[in-house]
Amino acid sequence: VQLQASGGGLVQAGGSLRLSCAAPGRTFSSHVMGWFRQAPGKEREAVAAISSSGDVPAYEDSVKGRFTISRDNAKDSVYLQMNSLKPEDTAVYYCVGRLRGTDWRGPYDYWGQGTQVTVSS
């Protein structure tokens, strides 16, 4: 599974961005999909994940109520809508996927290239 993330950019605090990840392939709808991020000098962390059917999302505590993960299996795509962005959300965001697992935080088998999100204060 090849993952292609897009949608990052520079936004002011309080603003919104929508990340997209295309994962063309016959098995996309069987994969759990998620987003990780890594800020400079910090460890990579899981941000959100969504079940293969799209009905079970999970979020890291600091983004709950601000970020929404969704997927469109007809378009082989997963999205991360980010609202009320804060400077501490600044990071490189990665799209990830896997077929199986019980912990939404990982591990993941497939990683896309990162997309930079910068939130100015």
* Per-chain mean pLDDT for the chain: 95
pLDDT digits (tens, 9 = 90+) for 50-82: 999 988 999 999 999 999 999 999 999 999 999
Residue partners of 69: CB distance under 8 A and separation at least 6: 33, 34, 35, 48, 49, 50, 57, 59, 78, 79, 80, 81
Cβ–Cβ under 8 Å, residues 93 and 115: yes
pLDDT digits (tens, 9 = 90+) for 26-54: 789 999 999 999 999 999 999 999 999 98
